[in-house]
Structure formats: C-alpha cells, structure tokens
Chains A and B, each alone.
Chain A
Amino acid sequence: MSPRPVPYRPRRPRRVVVIGNGMVGARFAEEVRRLDPGGDRVRLTVVGEEPGPCNRVLLPGVLSGALRPEEVGMPRPEGPGTAVLGAHAAAVDRSGRRVLLADGRALGYDRLVLATGARPVVPPVAGLRAPDGGPGPGAAVLRGPDDCRRIARLARPGDPVAVLGGGPLGLETARALAVRGHPVTVVEAAHRIMPHRLDRAGGRLLAELLERRGVRVLSGRACTAWVPGRGLDLDDGTRVPARAVVVAVGVRASARLAEEAGIAVRGGVLVDDALATSDPLVHAIGDCAEHPGGGAGLVGPGWEQAAVLAGRLTGRTPDAAYRGARTVTRLKADGIEMVSVGEVGDGPGAQTAGDPPEEVTVSDPAGGRYARLLLRAGRVSGAVVVGLPGAAAAVTAAFDADAPVPPDRLGLLLGADLASADAGGGSGDGRAPVCRCNGVSRDRIEQAWLEGARDLAGMARATRATTGCGGCAGDVGALLDRWSKDTPEPARG
C-alpha cells in the first residue's frame, strides 16, 4: 500500500470563488464536489454570466444536426456547499481578497480561480467585424449553442456557407455544415490547412478527403472583405459566394480581470505547475491560463488542470501538478481519421530543429492514406496520420506513453502486428491442437480415424474433439472429408 498523505483537515471549509461557468470552470466544480461531496473542505461559489456550461467541442455536432443544442450542456455545478451566481465579475480586489460584482455585491475568497476562458478572434476585415469586436451581419463565430442557432438562421440547407480558418474547429465546422447540406468553402490564409499541425503531404491529402465530402478548400488566400449575404472577397480578386460566414481563426484569452488586478499576464494569465498565478491565492485554468508547457485552447488540458486544481484545493492530492500538455490534434470527424502529434515539420526529408529525427513514411494518396512518423531516441517525437484509424490510435498512445516504440515501425503505422505473426504455432506440427478445448491434436484425430471413427459424432466419442466450443467442427470435418476421399488411409508422418 502506498503511504497515505497527511489528510487536509480544514478548521472551516475553504472559500473558493470561481469566475467562469464554462467547460473548465464547471468541470472544476464537478471535480471539487466529487472529491468533497459533503462540502466539508471547500465551499464553492461559481460566478458566471453563461446561461449554463456548454461543451463547445460538440458544437459541430449541433451544426450537422446530430445533436440538439440542449444536448451539449455540461452538468451544472451542484451539491452541498456549491452556489452558482449568474452575475458579472467586475473586478478583483486582491488586498481585500474579494471579487466585486457588477451589481455592487462583493464575494470574499480564500482562493480565487479564474476560468474566464477565451473569446473568438474576429479579424479586422471590412464587413466582418462589428464595432464591439464580435461578428458583423451575416457572420458568426462558434462558441455556444446560440451561435449554432444564429448560423441556422443565417443560412438554410442548400445555401452556400464560407468558413474562415482552416484549423481543427474550422474544418470540423465545415464538415458539419456539409453534412447539413450546405455547399461549404474553407478559406485559409496559410499555404495549407492546419499549417502548424500538418506537413505538406498530409495537408494536401486532408484537403482532398474534405473535397470528396463536399468541402471546397482554398488555402493561401486572404480575405479582403465580407459582403453580407453575398460572399467573401479574396486577395486574388475572386469572390467565394456565401450566404453566411463562420469565423474560426482562433481565440484570445479573456484575461482582463487578472490584468486589471495586477496579475502577470502575457497571452493569457501566467500560471505555474500548481496553476497559481503571480498571486499565490489566485489560480487560473483553461483557455484564460498560459502555462509554459502549453495546452491553452484545448479542452483536454483544461480538464486536466481542473482535476489537478480540485485535488490541491480540496487537499485530497495537495501535491498534484500540471506539467503541460503533449500536443495532440485529433480531428473529430467520422470517416476522416486525422491526428497530428508533437513536431511536424514540413514533410518528408524536411529540416526540423536540431538533429534530424528517424523518419518512417507511408503514402497512398489514391487510397486516401498517409502517415509520417518522426522518432527521436526510439520514441515518437512527432507524427502526421491521415486515413489510417488504427495508426491514429496507436501513434497517439505511443506518443502519450513516451515509451520506446516497437522495432516494427511499419507495423505500428499499418495496424498490423507483424512481430506477433511469428509467435503462433507452426501449422505443420501434428501435435498442435485441432480442438483446443479438449487438447486434441491432429495426430490423435488421425489415430482415431485409423481406429474407425469416420464421422463427427464418432470422432467426438473417440477423442472428445468438437465437444467444447464446437469451433473446430469445420476443421475436423475437413480432415475427415480429405481422408475419406484421398486415400483409404491417411499418410502417416
């Protein structure tokens, strides 16, 4: 048994205020209540303007029609010692350890958790951005169920839609809109979609797979104007006809509260392995946080941060630490299996940082399959996989485990375990069991045949073969057939 940590015994429950009731804030609340169901350790107040936490990862599913908007909600924070305030947090008074609400109330805290998330960026393109920084007429972002409703209002099935941004969210959105019956065009300013996560060949193949599913992909094109209801003007003078445009070019951390309170902020609120900000009583998790090990913008790391911080603040695992995320980008799209992990580079033979890694590439453009594996010290340092479901899972697992990969690299990519093929019993061995359940060898069956067992029933009586799972009945029958046809007696040997 591992030694038990000294239990955290609060004299009174710790007062924890969470600002933000989104995917990560709500998950934090859920984890706290899982670890402290009675509310003896932590009294939680969640401050959020959101109507309810939403799992935005599932929004493309709402767009495609697979899910209804109300089905992407997350469990609301609840349980003893949990309060949810639908209020706006106006400021943090660190010296007074208080959160000031817009309605004039103040909430005292022992620990403050910022889970304010991020806001979609709408680029300053003519017609695209409203004065408040949000999407203008005919344009939308995809951050909550309301955005799905807005898109549905802007365009009916059959109407062309443009998607600005060829990252994972843009591509999942495009695919979902195509499923819904929209002609869709993705516009990506970089020279290929997912420029940071795919190499050249992988990007080309993914674009082709999308095109086969009704998504037109234009990369290396910047947009110069959005003409509401008409289309997106591009820098080469062409126009992409579109009734609506969905903007998915990235997000910016919502760090204003922290910044105004004098907490260190760069792109997001800076945090360490304890998820503490420059003020040790203030924590930040999820998209608003910036950890040196990365992870911002991805839900997996955000949820891991929620679990780590809940363990620390409830005292259940006071030493839990978040040490950064391993970069895994996995497209969520049935039928297009794409994953990219770690370093990617530009393609086969391309220069990467430092010494060149060991490289294994499989390319089958006609079959829609491509995989490139980069290895350093026998471990996966990066990979791009498109169209190979088994390899996508296996490569991710090998990358996450950071363990030496099998000697048979190609087997890993093809999902065929070539190494194990040699491990089976030789088929020419007369002692190998034909009937495993009863351990009856071919030699024994042959002997019973010689002694007069000429059909399945007789063979079962003589040897017990076929009486277990019955799976060998075909094999035994084939032997009987062959012997009775070929020769009066089976050849011995």
Chain B
Amino acid sequence: MTTTHCPYCALQCAMHVEPSPGGGWRTRPADFPVNRGGLCRKGWTAAGLLTSPDRITAPLMRASRDAPLLPTDWDTALDRVAGRLAALRGEYGPDAVAVFGSGGLTNEKAYLLGKFARLALRTSRIDYNGRFCMSSAAAASSRAFGADRGLPFPVTDLAGARTVLLAGANPAETMPPLMGHLAAPALVVVDPRRTATAEAALRGGGLHLAPRPGTDAALARGMLHAARELGLLDTAYIERRTRGFGAAWAQAAAWWPERAERATGVPAAHIRRAVRTLGRAPGAYVLTGRGTEQHSTGTGTAAAWIDLALALGLPGRRGSGFGCLTGQGNGQGGREHGQKADQLPGYRRIDDERDRAHVASVWGVAAADLPGPGPSAFELLDALGTEGGPRALLVFGSNPAVSAPDAGRIRSRLAAADLVVVADFVPSETAMAADVVLPVAQWAEEEGTVTNLEGRVLRRRAALPPPPEVRTDLEVIGALAARLGQPAERFPTDPDLVLEELRAASEGGTADYSGVGADRLEAGEALYWPVPRGGAPTPRPFLDRFAHPDGRARFAAAPAGTPAEAPDDRYPLTATTGRIMGHYQSGAQTRRIGELAEAEPEAFAEVHPDTARAYGLSAGDRVRVVSRRGSAAVRLRPTGACPRGTVFLPFHFPDGQSANNLTNPALDPVSRMPEFKVAAVRLEPADGPTGGDP
C-alpha cells in the first residue's frame, strides 16, 4: 500500500493506492486535513487508469501527415523529434519551436520544462493550460497582494467562518470534499445557475445570487457600494493596510444597488442582504472560481471581488480572507516554476533583470542568454504554422484540442504545424493529431511534488512502476535535451535532483521553495510556501503584511467591463461552459474510467424548460448549439436550475460534442484569459440519427 495524492483536482486529497483483490489497483481515502477521510467519485475510481486498455505503451509515429500513427522504438522517435526541431530552428530561428505545458505536471516537470524551453530550445514560446484556468485570479491577486497564493490560508480555516461567498465556484460538483469545510458557514453563492452548491447554500439558510453571465463585476461593485451605504466598511483596516480605496470607491459609486440590479438581474434587496451577511460576520471569506474569472474581463472581475474583500477588511486577517479556488491538480505549483510565458521559477518575472540574473546563475548561463516573454497560450496555439508563428509544438500533459477556446480553429492550427509532439499516457484528442506521441508515466507510477490550492507542497509517491516501454516526462525532456546538445547534468531525470535545483532557483523569489527538503516532505510537515531554507513554512502569509514592498494591499478600481459578445437576433442565447461531477478537464482521463463514463457518457446542454419549449425541443432531444465559431451536437437537458436564455455545456467532451467549438477566444488584456463563460449561440435540432436515446 502506498499513500499519495489524487491525480485530479487542486484539493489533492490524500489516498492509499493498493492492489485490488480482484486484480488491478484500487484507491481509498487516507487521513489528510483537506479531504478528512473523504473522496469524490473521481478519486475513488482513479486507479482505473493505471490498467486502462487505452494506455499508450510504446512511442507512436506517423510517416507523413496522412499516414497512421504506428508504434516505434524510443530512439527512432526521439531522433526524429530532435532532428526536426534542430532543422526547424536552423531554418526559422529558435522561436519556431513552441512548448505547451500543464497545471497537471508536477513542480519538477513544470520547472524542467521551462528550463528546457529557455536553454535547450532557446524559445520564448512556452505557455501552459493554466492560462485557461486561474490566470485572471492570479493576475488580480498578484496586483492586489503582491503575491498569488490561491488560498493564503489552510482550507480548514473556512469551517470557522460565519459566512463564505463563492463567486463563480461550484465545489459541490467540482471538488466535493471541499464542501465538508463549508458545512458550518452560511454560503452566498454567486452563479447564473442554481447549482448543487447554490442548493446547498439555500438549504443552509444562505443566499444564491444569480447574475446574468458576464455581469459579476457590476455585482461586486454594487456590493461594495452597498457596504458603504450600510456602514459596513472597515475604515481602520482600509486606512492602515491598503492603498487606493478612493479610486475603487469612485468606480463603485456608480453602482448603487438598484443600478447593479438592472445590470445583473440580482435583486437590490439581495445585494444588500448578501453584504450584511458578509460584512457583519465575525469571520468571512470571499472565494472566486472559474465562473467569475474565465472572461475577457476576468482580471478586472476578480479584482472587483478582491476590492470588496479589502473594503470589508477580510484579507490578511485570521479567520477571514480572500482566495481563489485553483482548479488543476498542480495549478498552483504549475504557475510558479517557469512554464508560463512571462515567468521564471519561484514566481519570478522573466522581464525583471534581478530575477533573470538569479535564475541564470543557478542554471550556469548568462542572463542575456535567456529569452524574453512570449505569447500567451491561445496566441501561441493560434499562431502555429502561420507566417512568423511556431512551426513545431511540444505538448506535455495537456489536451488543447478539447480544452482551448474556439477548439475547431485550434485543431486546424495543429494540423497546419510542421511537427506536433505530444507526451501523454492516454491517446488524447491532441495526441491523436500529433506526428509523434511519447508514452509517459502517470501519477502513481513516479515521484514528484505538487502544490495544492492552499499553497501546500505535497509529495506524490510511486505505488507501482510504469509499463516497460514507458518513460517519465523528466526522462523525455532529458533525452531530447541531450540530443539537442545540452550537457546531461543540466537536465537531471531524478525528481529529487530536480527539486534540489528548483529550491535554489526559487530561493528568495515570491514562491520561495528553498526550504522544501525531501526530509521535511517525508516527515509530513505542512509546507505552505514561502518556505525559506531552514525556515518555517507560511500557512497564512498576509497576517502581518501583504507582499508589496510597503506591506499594503492595493485596490484595483478596474472599470466593470462587458462580455466581448452579446446575444443578438441570430444568436439570441448565451452559452456558458463548466464542469460536472464525474469528469475532469478535457475528460481524456475520466472518459476512460468505466464508472464515470457510464454515469455521464456524452455531452449535454442544460436550458430552462421555457427555453426548450420556445424552440419546440424536449428532454433527450439531440440539438446543435451554434455560435459564430462552430457548433456542438449534444443532448438537451431542460432544468429549472438553468436561467432562461442561458445554455450550459460541460466542456469535458471531444470533437463534435466539444463545448469549446463554441467559445470565444477574446482575451483579457492582462491575464490573456479567453472568454470561456460567455458566447452568443442559437439552438437547432441536430440532423441525423439520434441513436442511443435513454
């Protein structure tokens, strides 16, 4: 039996992995404060993937774009990749090669991938799927607090609060064990849909505020306005611990609750009630999720929630706070160690001379040799195979053919590239579109660290060896680096050695891991970063001061923007995307777990029964949801939980069912987050047979 952490979301529930009596492997919950002996359905069935018949067990390669992917040996595959990369670099320069990483990679992989891109490839074009996840909240938190640690407190603190506001988060569906920490507080749930989390709030005497998609910033500003009107501002805190309230108020002054009501659809009385619940509570938290962040105005919207929390005096105070519920398993660590276009390890900036100098010295190169910042995830993918864009793409642990916005366009960009290489353990949709597929180890087959949504560094342990022809991502990176002429010691394949280097590279940075020693991890110490070398971890980093040089938090005062696309006569409905209980991200893993696939075998669209009626459609009909960018053919699910005029689609399904065929790649100006949550669409009856009706 091996004790490790779940392969999926950012809670990183602890679990035992052990042989199953009937053969294969099984998981069960282990003792850990985050999951408190619980697991969701995905965790309970996670071991299924270890013996999946779909597992890629040998490198695959196709002779030409039209040829099939066929098994080959590692040397042939790696030689081909390295040869092509070198040739493309020779012809077009180093930026001809792009790298796409993942918030699912361990800290060590994220770190080494960034180093590989900057040193072995010398490309500035590296970014990762976390850009599609919590980049807006990360940008807003960095600006407000001087550091972005998703939750700057342990999740166990939440249970002691009187009120918790969840803006665009649906943990009852997406991270169920978190709900155990939210059972005692009154919940204020902000979500256009009456989700399972909103139901839980109402059952517990809390509130459900249902703004129209894309209007959250107006709601947050309206709440700030109401807080002042009701005398609930913490003026002493504003005075002592913050800067810029005047500008934030100048924005909020224009959003009196009745005006916010008209913009959002949330009754002014509920806005005031929510603020009273939040502002008069002895302990209160404001938490954001993807619903409020995945917009072309996501940074400003996340900032509006932070402004509200600051005005009420919540952040950096024991028993209260602001936080972002990070989504991906290592979404937190993945954004700290240099696979992001503008970052170097330790949450250092690639455009800061001192940060560059520090990392360059750890890497033994000159700072001038490090490339500068590159384009963001969507821009990188969208430029593939275009004039001046990258010719080759290396993908690690991601499935952008399903998870990128305007996915149809991204699939055509992948087809236009000269070379696509995917390292994965299942034949994801992106892998199947690649020229070379490199089979890699998965979660319980290798060691490494991840950083969960609390900023706590955890050790994932190997329970079993990978299949014989499978290598780890670190080994793949090392082998490619060697073929590109890099010295072997520069790209170690032992995760502990990589961690040693990561510690040095992050030392003194915002996310300082220099004290994260293997011994301390082994002893089960609760290592919340920053953990300076030999120093204590930091479970609650902002209690005394925020991370700006003057110790004060900053109000953002961003104007409340509007979605890039509004419904009109041709596309009269608003599509919004999200996640459901049984699946994770692009579904490449969970769609291969029998129990999960059986429970949710196909994509669907939720609409209000009145909307279904207006289109003459009923439950179970196959419909085509059509946007300016593409369409998705899905099963109709009328439910009163979905507001009129809104269409909700889960994004876990591929190809013709992909919700991201519809989504709008309009990008946030700061975080470069695409607008996943608002697309103008219409409904049509789907053509063709409707086989498989329940």
Q: Is the CB of A71 within 8 A of B228?
A: yes
Kindly report which residue of chain B lies nearest to residue A406, judged by CB atoms: B610
Q: Is the CB of A390 within 8 A of B581?
A: no
Is A195 an interface position by the 8 A CB rule? no
Is A393 an interface position by the 8 A CB rule? yes
Q: Is the CB of A438 within 8 A of B645?
A: no
- From A126-134, A273-281, A309-317, A462-470, give the one contacting chain B: A462-470
Q: Is the CB of A2 within 8 A of B628?
A: yes
Within 8 A of B (CB), among A128-173: none
- From B53-61, B257-265, B316-324, give the one contacting chain A: B257-265
Is A85 an interface position by the 8 A CB rule? no
A376 to B177, CA, bound (A): 49
The A-B contact count (CB < 8 A) is 144
Q: Which residues of A contact B268 (CB under 8 A)?
A: 330, 337, 389, 392-393
**What distance in Å separates the Cβ of B682 from its nearest Cβ neighbour in chain A?**
14
**What distance in Å separates the Cβ of B546 from its nearest Cβ neighbour in chain A?**
25
Is A94 an interface position by the 8 A CB rule? no
**What distance in Å separates the Cβ of B83 from its nearest Cβ neighbour in chain A?**
37
Q: Is the CB of B200 within 8 A of A438?
A: no
Q: Is the CB of B269 within 8 A of A420?
A: no
A337 to B273, CA, bound (A): 13
Q: Is the CB of B261 within 8 A of A392?
A: yes
Kindly report which residue of chain B lies nearest to residue A468, judged by CB atoms: B176
Q: Is the CB of A328 within 8 A of B262?
A: yes
Task: Indicate which residue in B177, B250, B261, B614 contacts A404 across the interface (CB closer than 8 Å).
Answer: B614
Within 8 A of B (CB), among A1-32: 1-2
Q: Which residues of B contact A55 (CB under 8 A)?
A: 253-254
A379 to B213, CA, bound (A): 22
Is A436 an interface position by the 8 A CB rule? yes
Q: Which residues of A contact B638 (CB under 8 A)?
A: 423
Q: Is the CB of B640 within 8 A of A417?
A: yes
- From A364-372, A395-403, A477-485, give the one contacting chain B: A395-403
A73 to B254, CA, bound (A): 10
Task: Indicate which residue in B38, B251, B269, B581 contacts A337 across the interface (CB closer than 8 Å).
Answer: B269
Is A439 an interface position by the 8 A CB rule? yes
Give a binary string over A28-58; 1 marks a CB under 8 Å from any B CB, 0 the rest: 0000001000000000000000000001011
Q: Is the CB of B610 within 8 A of A436?
A: no
A470 to B270, CA, bound (A): 28
Task: Indicate which residue in B180, B270, B629 contacts A469 across the interface (CB closer than 8 Å).
Answer: B180
Within 8 A of A (CB), among B628-647: 628-629, 638-641, 644-645
**What distance in Å separates the Cβ of B230 from its nearest Cβ neighbour in chain A?**
8
Task: Indicate which residue in A57, A335, A423 contacts B609 across the interface (CB closer than 8 Å).
Answer: A423
Q: Is the CB of B267 within 8 A of A470?
A: no
Q: Which residues of A contact B261 (CB under 8 A)?
A: 330, 392-393, 396
Q: Is the CB of B610 within 8 A of A471?
A: no
Q: Which residues of B contact A450 (CB under 8 A)?
A: none
Q: Which residues of B contact A389 (CB under 8 A)?
A: 267-270
**What distance in Å separates the Cβ of B685 from its nearest Cβ neighbour in chain A?**
20
Give a binary string over A198-242; 1 marks a CB under 8 Å from any B CB, 0 the rest: 000000000000000000000000000000000000000000000
A167 to B178, CA, bound (A): 50
Q: Which residues of B contact A392 (CB under 8 A)?
A: 261, 267-268
Is B39 an interface position by the 8 A CB rule? yes
Given the interface contacts A393-B267, A468-B177, does A420 sit within 8 Å of B253 by beta carbon?
no
A94 to B495, CA, bound (A): 77
A34 to B272, CA, bound (A): 30
Give a binary string over A405-449; 1 marks a CB under 8 Å from any B CB, 0 the rest: 011000000000101111110000000000011110000000000
Is B41 an interface position by the 8 A CB rule? yes
Q: Is the CB of A471 within 8 A of B640?
A: no
Given the interface contacts A464-B44, A467-B37, A469-B177, does A75 sit within 8 Å of B610 by beta carbon?
no
Q: Which of B40, B171, B613, B638 has the most CB of A within 10 A?
A: B40
Given the interface contacts A300-B259, A401-B645, A404-B614, does A72 sit within 8 Å of B253 by beta carbon?
yes
Task: Indicate which residue in B38, B614, B629 contacts A467 across the interface (CB closer than 8 Å).
Answer: B38
Kindly report which residue of chain B lies nearest to residue A396, judged by CB atoms: B262
Q: Which residues of A contact B228 (CB under 8 A)?
A: 66-67, 71
A290 to B604, CA, bound (A): 49
A55 to B41, CA, bound (A): 53
Is A332 an interface position by the 8 A CB rule? yes
A66 to B256, CA, bound (A): 13
Q: Is the CB of B262 within 8 A of A439?
A: no
Is B266 an interface position by the 8 A CB rule? yes
A317 to B645, CA, bound (A): 27
Give a binary string over B19-58; 1 marks a CB under 8 Å from any A CB, 0 the rest: 0000000000100000001111100100000000000000
Q: Is the CB of A419 within 8 A of B610?
A: yes
Give the interface residue-count category, chain B: 35 or more
Is A74 an interface position by the 8 A CB rule? yes
A330 to B269, CA, bound (A): 13
A330 to B262, CA, bound (A): 9
Q: Is the CB of A71 within 8 A of B253?
A: yes
A389 to B265, CA, bound (A): 11
Q: Which residues of A contact B544 (CB under 8 A)?
A: none
Kindly report which residue of chain A lies nearest to residue B269, judged by CB atoms: A389
Is A295 an interface position by the 8 A CB rule? no
Q: Is the CB of A467 within 8 A of B29?
A: yes
Q: Is the CB of B177 within 8 A of A66?
A: no
Within 8 A of A (CB), among B192-211: 196, 200
Is A451 an interface position by the 8 A CB rule? no
Q: Which residues of A contact B368 (CB under 8 A)?
A: none
Q: Is the CB of B640 within 8 A of A419?
A: yes
Q: Is the CB of A58 within 8 A of B256?
A: yes
**What distance in Å separates the Cβ of A51 from its nearest Cβ neighbour in chain B?**
16
**What distance in Å separates the Cβ of B653 from its nearest Cβ neighbour in chain A?**
18
Given the interface contacts A469-B176, A471-B172, A471-B200, does A58 sit within 8 Å of B253 by beta carbon?
yes
A404 to B645, CA, bound (A): 11
Q: Is the CB of A407 within 8 A of B38?
A: no
A58 to B267, CA, bound (A): 19
A31 to B252, CA, bound (A): 16
Is A77 an interface position by the 8 A CB rule? no
Q: Which of B178, B200, B269 has the most CB of A within 10 A?
A: B269
A71 to B238, CA, bound (A): 15
Task: Indicate which residue in A72, A330, A471 contacts B258 across the interface (CB closer than 8 Å).
Answer: A330
Q: Which residues of B contact A66 (CB under 8 A)?
A: 228-231
Q: Which residues of A contact B247 (CB under 8 A)?
A: 75
Given the interface contacts A57-B256, A470-B179, does A420 sit within 8 Å of B581 by beta carbon?
no
Taking Cβ atoms with an 8 Å cutoff, the residues of A that contact B are 1-2, 34, 55, 57-58, 61, 66-67, 71-75, 300, 303, 328, 330-332, 334-335, 337, 389-390, 392-394, 396-397, 400-401, 403-404, 406-407, 417, 419-424, 436-439, 464, 466-471
17 further interface pairs, Cβ-Cβ under 8 Å (given A55-B253, A337-B267)? A58-B256, A61-B229, A67-B229, A72-B253, A334-B272, A337-B269, A389-B267, A392-B268, A393-B261, A397-B262, A397-B265, A417-B640, A423-B639, A466-B38, A469-B172, A470-B177, A470-B183
| A-B residue pairs in contact (CB < 8 Å), sample of 23 | A34-B559, A57-B256, A71-B228, A73-B250, A334-B272, A335-B269, A392-B261, A392-B267, A393-B261, A393-B266, A420-B639, A420-B640, A422-B609, A436-B196, A437-B40, A437-B176, A438-B40, A439-B595, A464-B44, A467-B40, A469-B40, A469-B171, A469-B178
Taking Cβ atoms with an 8 Å cutoff, the residues of B that contact A are 29, 37-41, 44, 171-172, 176-180, 183, 196, 200, 212, 228-231, 247, 249-251, 253-254, 256-259, 261-262, 265-270, 272, 559, 581-582, 595, 599, 608-610, 613-614, 628-629, 638-641, 644-645
- 3 nearest interchain CB pairs? A420-B640, A469-B179, A389-B269
